[in-house]
């Protein structure tokens, strides 16, 4: 057992978290599933139906692992029990691995922006978990990707949106529409931007942030998250998020 914090996390739990496998949408990272993968291959495309019909403003979204089991618990330890040590190891290491999936396509120099929380919510929590994770990942990538430049305050959330869990995909998009704005145009204008978040569910938040950034002059937007909720896991993830803030969780 390795004690990275007051809440011990055993090495066996860490080792059970593995990177995603299988056929994934080449744009948003959604699992295509067997039938969709065969259809996409037959059509000579690698994107999911949604990305083909309504392409997002981001070029590609990547995630390290599926949002379930041990990874889900670790993220809740970070967000709701303030176990900040996990942001560096192992979560920051895993997020850095996700970012590296973009290295062959993205620019050597990118502005890094963690998806902002509404100011009142950030004050209540005491930190933005996405900022903590993004900074940990950038620090780990400093030698291999020195052009990653955090500018988290370049974008802000201008209204306190309803919690996304329990909402349909359409409701999620409507919920975040107009929720963000760029406040430092110089940080994004003409530059490639890497948007970072802890979890990607339907991609509604990432799509809206990318839309706002492109309108502000960003040359290209990429998205990296630690975890990705896949369609078949969505119901379980929603139920967990409903109860988790009040649940004392940990590892033994």
Check if the beta carbon of residue 183 is closer than 8 Å to that of residue 154. yes
Q: What is the pLDDT of residue 157?
A: 95
Residue 61 confidence class, pLDDT cut points 50, 70, 90: very high
d(CA 155, CA 233) in angstroms, rounded, equals 30
Q: Could you give the residue ranges of the DSSP H alpha helices within 91-203?
A: 93-100, 119-125, 129-140, 169-176
Q: Where are the beta strands (DSSP E) in the chain?
A: 60-66, 110-114, 148-150, 155-157, 180-182, 192-200, 220-228
Of 68 and 132, the one with more pLDDT: 132
**246 to each of 77, 80, 92, 240, 241, how far by Cα in Å?**
11, 8, 25, 11, 10
Task: Give the least confident one: 102-116, 181-195, 219-233.
Answer: 219-233
Residue 37 confidence class, pLDDT cut points 50, 70, 90: low
Q: What is the pLDDT of residue 240?
A: 36
d(CA 238, CA 224) in angstroms, rounded, equals 21
d(CA 220, CA 232) in angstroms, rounded, equals 30
Check if the beta carbon of residue 124 is closer than 8 Å to that of residue 140. no
Q: Could you give the residue ranges of the DSSP H alpha helices within 21-114?
A: 33-43, 49-53, 69-81, 93-100
Residue 32 confidence class, pLDDT cut points 50, 70, 90: confident
d(CA 67, CA 114) in angstroms, rounded, equals 19
Q: What is the pLDDT of residue 86?
A: 95
Q: What is the pLDDT of residue 3?
A: 43
Instruction: Give yes or no for residue 205 having a pLDDT over 70.
Output: yes
Q: What is the pLDDT of residue 11?
A: 87
CA nearest neighbour of 6 among 82, 91, 76:
82
Residue 28 confidence class, pLDDT cut points 50, 70, 90: very high
Spans of all domains in the chain: 21-55, 57-246
Q: What is the pLDDT of residue 23?
A: 86
Task: Decide which of 3.40.50.2020, 3.20.20.140, 3.40.50.300, 1.10.3760.10 is the CATH code for 57-246.
Answer: 3.40.50.2020
Tell me, what DSSP letter sits at residue 54?
S
Of 4 and 44, the one with more pLDDT: 44
**240 to each of 22, 69, 73, how far by Cα in Å?**
24, 10, 9
CA nearest neighbour of 4 among 71, 66, 91, 69:
91
Average pLDDT of the chain, as a whole number: 85
Instruction: Give yes or no for residue 250 having a pLDDT over 50.
Output: no
The mean per-residue pLDDT over the stretch 210-229 comes to 97
Could you report the per-residue pLDDT of 178-204, keeping only the tens digit for each?
Answer: 889 999 999 999 999 999 999 999 899
Instruction: Give yes or no for residue 251 having a pLDDT over 70.
Output: no
Q: What is the pLDDT of residue 248?
A: 37
């Amino acid at each position: 057992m390795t004690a990275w914090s007051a809440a011990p996390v055993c090495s066996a739990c860490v080792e059970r978290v593995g990177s995603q496998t299988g056929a994934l949408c080449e744009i948003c990272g959604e699992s295509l599933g067997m039938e969709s993968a065969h259809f996409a291959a037959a059509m000579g495309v690698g994107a999911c139906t949604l990305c083909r019909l309504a392409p997002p403003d981001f070029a590609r979204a990547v995630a390290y692992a599926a949002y379930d089991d041990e990874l889900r618990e670790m993220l809740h330890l970070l967000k709701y029990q303030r176990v900040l040590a996990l942001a560096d190891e192992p979560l920051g290491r895993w997020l850095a691995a996700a970012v590296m999936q973009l290295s062959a396509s993205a620019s050597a120099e990118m502005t890094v922006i963690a998806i902002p929380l509404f100011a009142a919510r950030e004050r209540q929590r005491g930190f933005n978990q996405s900022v903590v994770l993004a900074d940990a990942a950038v620090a780990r990538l400093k030698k291999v990707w020195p052009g990653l430049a955090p500018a988290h305050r370049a974008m802000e959330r201008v209204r306190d949106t309803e919690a996304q869990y329990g909402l349909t995909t359409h409701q999620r998009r409507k919920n975040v529409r107009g929720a963000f704005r760029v406040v430092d145009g110089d940080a994004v204008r003409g530059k490639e931007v890497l948007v970072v978040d802890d979890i990607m569910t339907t991609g509604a938040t990432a799509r809206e942030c990318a839309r706002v950034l492109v309108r502000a002059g960003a040359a290209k937007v990429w998205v990296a998250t630690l975890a990705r909720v896949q369609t078949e896991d969505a119901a379980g993830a929603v139920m967990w998020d409903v109860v988790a803030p009040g649940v004392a969780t940990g590892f033994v």
